[in-house]
Amino acid sequence: MKIVQMGMPLMLVAALAACSGNAAESGGKTTITFSYLWSGPEGEAIEKLIAGFNASQNKIVVKGVSSPDTQKQLASMSSANGTFDISDNFGNTVGSWAAKGILAPLDDLLKEQGVDTGAFAPAAMDQMRYKGQTYALPIAVHTFQLVYNKKLLDAAGVEPPRTTDELAAAIPKLTKTDGKGALTQLGLGNPNLPTSLTTLGYAFGGNWDGTDPANPAPSPGDPGNLAALKFWQDNITKKYGADKVNAFKAGWGQYMSAQDPFYSGKVAMVIDGEWQAVSIPKNAPELEWGVSPIPVARPDLDGTTQLTASTLFIPANSKHRKEAATFLKYMVSESAARELSLALGNLPARTGLAGDPAYAKIANFDVWLQAMKSPKVRSLSSAPYAAEYATDLESAFDSVARGTATPEEGMAKVAGRASGYARG
């Protein structure tokens, strides 16, 4: 899910809420508000699902409001009188918001609705829970795999790497410089450095939040994490020079535009999500590309990757929790999950849909799709410290990638700051 929408004026949001939040319509139907972060084609897909729900029964009317301003979303949830009854965000917010008491616990509501949480990707459900209770459900998930330029790999005589050793050997074969030593092609790029490095951390057997999802704690200095950061420094930063890498990156075009460095052949391989299977045919139709599982350090780590989730939740100040839960059940049902994921180019959160033939029409989508069922798929914790931790990791990753800190120095600094994180 890409959130790039313009915000709806607060007065309009309030007006919509006022006419829909508390009153039952004349026909005896209860009206609830679904405030969602999507707009454009994505918003149209949401409105189509809303219309389908409204037509499917005669007790509830859902009114959709496109409102991508997350600060207004949080302000509404923190007030005595909220402006919506159900909304969406990302999995890494769940623990923090649950600890603040602004999310409604869902277990009893889900039991009443007959929703089986075991139907969803386990790594996604890890993010949905806080202190043993469920506070959100995944509406879509995202996994990360190795995306590669077939022509560049073929020209270099490189097979898609399956291990981190093979990845290390492939990078220099796929990297080129001009007569002055400036980079003209890079073997492995990073559309998002934190995602690339946290995913590689898992691929080296590391853990970013300890080993117990029920009791997460920051573990930046895990040996596998350090091995991943050392891999990045040894095979990119030190090998080609941080200054030359940064100078090369400065000339990259906008992500997922026609000038994207992967689309234009400046980068041979990237670690990225399933949305590329929809974006590439639209924005780089001539590109010959493929996707393979994330290379891993050991055979027992085969199938390891990172998963993130888009979620639906009910705010604690909703005046229509049961009605919102009825709509929530509809939105995470197999039919709605299939329709929405196909419209957005995302993975369905239900593992049972991984083999659905509807996805076969999307080239290369199956690698990401099958990955969500792997027992080795991992997700960063959504514990109350998640936001602070992510910020500190991002800063440390940048230092490591620039060569201004060793992996040990960078992660030690994060560990020192972690002692002051909120635990909830």
What are the start-end ranges of the E strands in 213-327?
A: 267-273, 289-292, 305-313
What pLDDT was estimated at residue 424?
66
Asked if 184 and 167 touch (Cβ cutoff 8 Å), the reply is no
Within the chain, which residues score under 70 in pLDDT?
1-27, 424
Radius of gyration, alpha carbons of the chain: 22
pLDDT at 422: 78
Specify the residue for token string 């707009």: 39
d(CA 83, CA 75): 10
Kindly state the DSSP code that residue 93 receives in the 8-state scheme. Answer: G
What's the number of CA atoms in the CB half-sphere (13 Å) around residue 287? 31
User: Token match 């196909």: residue?
Assistant: 342
**Which residue from 332, 367, 373, 325 is spatially nearest to 351, judged by alpha carbons?**
373
pLDDT of the residue at 14: 37
Look-up of token digits 């990757």: 305
Any residues with CB less than 8 A from the CB of 319 and at least 6 apart, and which?
21, 22, 82, 85
Helix ranges, 271-320 (H):
276-283
Q: What is the pLDDT of residue 46?
A: 96
Q: How close are the terminal C-alpha atoms of the chain, in Å?
A: 28
What pLDDT is recorded for position 27?
67
Nearest to 136, CA basis, from 332, 319, 275: 332
* Residue 26 buriedness (CB in 10 A; 0-12 / 13-18 / 19+): exposed
CA dist 252 and 266 (Å) reads 8
pLDDT for 268: 98
CATH fold of the domain at 143-306+380-418: D-Maltodextrin-Binding Protein; domain 2 (3.40.190)
Concatenated DSSP letters of 333-364: SHHHHHHHHHHHT-B-SBGGGTT-GGGGGSTT
Q: What is the full DSSP assignment across 103-142?
A: B---HHHHHHHT--GGGB-HHHHHHHEETTEE--EEEEEE
The residues that bridge with 159 in the sheet, in sequence order, are: none
Q: Judge whether 16 and 36 are in contact, CB under 8 Å.
A: no
120/334 Cα distance (integer angstroms): 11
Q: Which CATH architecture has domain 10-142+308-376?
A: 3-Layer(aba) Sandwich (3.40)
Contacts for 373 with CB less than 8 Å, ≥ 6 apart:
121, 351, 354
Question: Which ranges in the chain are annotated with CATH 3.40.190.10?
Answer: 10-142+308-376, 143-306+380-418
Closest CA to 265 of 288, 243, 283: 288
For the whole model, what pTM was predicted?
0.90
